Structure 1
Amino acid sequence: MRSHWSKRRGAELGVGALPGRPPPPQSPLSRGAVRGERSGATPVMALLLEHEFKPLPADKQIETLPFLEAVAHLPPFFDCLGTPIVYSPVKADLTGNIKKIRAVYDSNPAKFKTLQNILEVEKELHGSAWPKTGATLALMWLKRGLKFILVLLQSISDGERDEEHPNLIRVNALKAYEIALKKYHGWMLQKLFTGSVYALPYKSDLLKALEKGKEVKEEESIEKIHQFVTRVTPILDAIYEMYTKMNAELSYKA
């Protein structure tokens, strides 16, 4: 999802998703065998709602520690999408970016109390190398990964679907990728992600995975998704606005 997820890695992982070599179709049984359904584990959606993001203050200054504590529970979401060969690196990059930001914060909690503090201090510290360095770069890619998750979940919550195949989430995943990540990826990664949608679980299996295999009515799962998206969207919008105002957004392709 970020620059470290290189074309080389895409070539290694995405052979089956290259033009002319689509991933083999999966049976409903294999689609349902998504990760994250261990009995006794806390459901992903429960974690996301329990460790919710703090409401956005009027000055839009986002406190670093509460933000990091909330996003720390996002990586397991990618286990629910199955296809480890594609989404495990995405999960690893998301986790790595969170750790990099946390390391900067821990070096001086008072100095880096807010996300804006981090960008301002690093801008002065790194000079011409900024913003393509440090926690500024890590947060840039983290927000894109978060946006992918939010757009995907929002699309499912809104009922967007392929009318001929209503239980598939390809439409939702492709929309999320187009909006959040595609323009930052080179040709190889674009083909890898586009091909990966054919191996995504059914919507019913995704919702079940988000609940760790527990039987929950679809309406209840959708309502939890709506609550999560509603809480996080203002935070994410404020981060994007901060990057725009500080000219910290980069458009290079990974």
Structure 2
Amino acid sequence: MAPYLETVRSFADVDTTNGVNTVQFLEASEGLVGLFDLLGSAAFSVVQNDLKGNITKVRARYDATPTLSDTLEKLVENEKGEKKRTATEGLMWLLRGQSFTCKALQNAQANPKEELSVAFNDSYANTLKKFHNFVVKGIFSVAMKACPYRADFYAKLAADPAGGPAASDEKVTEQLNNWLNPLDAIVTRMQTFYEKGDYGKGL
């Protein structure tokens, strides 16, 4: 075995040459979901379940129309004329959840003396909060307070579940940056795509 980020598909390995490869993106997204297991708090189950549910919606569309959905852009385009745009809505929320997670961890990387709760709170305020009602905001507030200590989370990122030597702090920082930067690029690309095409209208 190896540290967590070496066991899942990296967003750096998602082909974006002619659009964002749907299958590869979903595989990498599942790795992001697993990251919340390392946070080790049941309070984050709401985030995990939301991500999982939206991955399922996008995958169902791909499975139903694979040739029309081999990139995320094509998937959204080809669902545009339909009455229910389940995958388009699911992808929109998946991207929002990914933006929240990505920005939180980028905050943590940029501010090594801050605890994770600060990084996640700041990210939430700048990403998901504006889309949530009072009840959901309360749920997320609880989740932020339940963030593990920074040192514990980074130790889990470094650990080898098979009992081998842990990765160095420098290695973990490098791996996490190499994982987050392409995720950020894909999220930004797709959110721009949604805005330009007005694909989120009515959802």
TM-score by length of 1: 0.70
Cα distance in 2, alignment partners of residues 250 and 182 from structure 1: 19
- The 5-angstrom pairing of residues 45-64 of structure 1 reads 45-48=5-8, 52-57=12-17, 61-64=19-22
Instruction: Name segments (4+ residues, structure 1) moved above 6 Å.
Output: none
RMSD of aligned C-alpha atoms? Answer: 2.3
Aligned to 2:70: 113
Structure number with higher helix proportion:
2
Aligned to 1:169: 116
Unaligned runs of 5+ in 1: 1-39
Question: Which of 64, 75, 83 pairs up with 2:41?
Answer: 83
Question: Which of 44, 49, 52 pairs up with 2:4?
Answer: 44
CA pair 125-198 structure 1, distance change in 2 beyond 3 A: closer
Question: Which of 184, 195, 202 pairs up with 1:233?
Answer: 184
Is the contact made by 1:105 and 1:112 (CA closer than 8 Å) also made in structure 2? yes
TM-score by length of 2: 0.87
CA pair 53-251 structure 1, distance change in 2 beyond 3 A: farther
Partner amino acid for 1:56?
Answer: T
Cα distance in 2, alignment partners of residues 108 and 198 from structure 1: 41
Is the contact made by 1:55 and 1:231 (CA closer than 8 Å) also made in structure 2? no
- The 5-angstrom pairing of residues 128-207 of structure 1 reads 133-159=85-111, 161=113, 166=114, 168-207=115-154
Aligned to 1:70: 28
The structure showing larger relative contact order (alpha-carbon pairs under 8 Å, at least 6 residues apart) is 1
Identity level (%): 29
Q: Equivalent residue of 2:155, what SS?
A: helix
Q: Equivalent residue of 1:72, what SS?
A: helix
CA pair 179-44 structure 1, distance change in 2 beyond 3 A: farther
Aligned to 1:3: none
How far did residue 191 of structure 1 move?
A: 2.3
Cα distance in 1, alignment partners of residues 155 and 71 from structure 2: 36
